[in-house]
Amino acid sequence: MVCAIIPAAGTGKRFGSVTPKQFLHIKGKPVLAHTVAAFQSVEAVDEIILAVPPGFVETTRGLVNEYAFTKVVHIIEGKKSRAESIIEALYKMSDGADIVLVHDGVRPLVSRSLINAVIAATQQHRAAITAVPVTDTLKKANAAGFITETCDRSLFYQVQTPQGFSCDLLKEAYRAVKNPEAYTDDSAVVEAFGHPVFIVPGEKRNIKITTETDLFFAGVLMEQRA
């Protein structure tokens, strides 16, 4: 049984909008609705749990009803940190869940094929993430702003979501690792716990919306896909 947790509890401070970016529209539909629709459409995904900003549970429930997202089983209010939201969602999963996917609510262009690839890799490796190789030259600099090293970019990846884990593994990692809120994604928590994480080739179009430019670009990509 596969459960997808979609953290979408950001308040949009970096975006600069009064409305959280996950509720802004692309092609007439909220960003979050596009994201949830991708997981709703994947046969292997059995249930979906959403974490949303304080005060947006009812708004989200209306969205779920409007778009008939029948796989959404829980809508929880996000906590102070992403890690705390994920931990609460983990304990809302059905007892039969053996794989959990975690996906950013503001990555609305995730494909069904990528979701299925992560599920398959998780079944084999117990921990898998999507990532794309870094293509730009990478420099390391000191505090004064001077370059100290040109890095071998072949060793580096830009991490995306979804990320997939054995449910027991992710729960155990969050219980064991100190200060999990210090980590920027779930794979880092699993790495700190000592379990290897497999990389599934990601997709360039699977962008995360953090700026107005990203929102515009996502709309362009959707037009191309249509």
DSSP-assigned letters across all residues of 153-201: GGG-EEEEEEEEEEHHHHHHHHHHSS-GGGSSSHHHHHHHHT---EEEE
The tally of domains found in the chain comes to 1
List the CATH number of the domain containing 133: 3.90.550.10
Task: Give the domain extent around 98.
Answer: 2-225
Cα distance between residue 143 and residue 126, in whole Å: 38
- Give 20's pLDDT tier (boundaries 50, 70, 90): confident
The model carries a pTM of 0.94
Q: What is the pLDDT of residues 109-151, one digit of tens each?
A: 999 999 999 999 999 999 999 999 999 999 999 999 999 999 9
Q: What is the pLDDT of residues 25-76, one digit of tens each?
A: 999 999 999 999 999 999 999 999 999 999 999 999 999 999 999 999 999 9
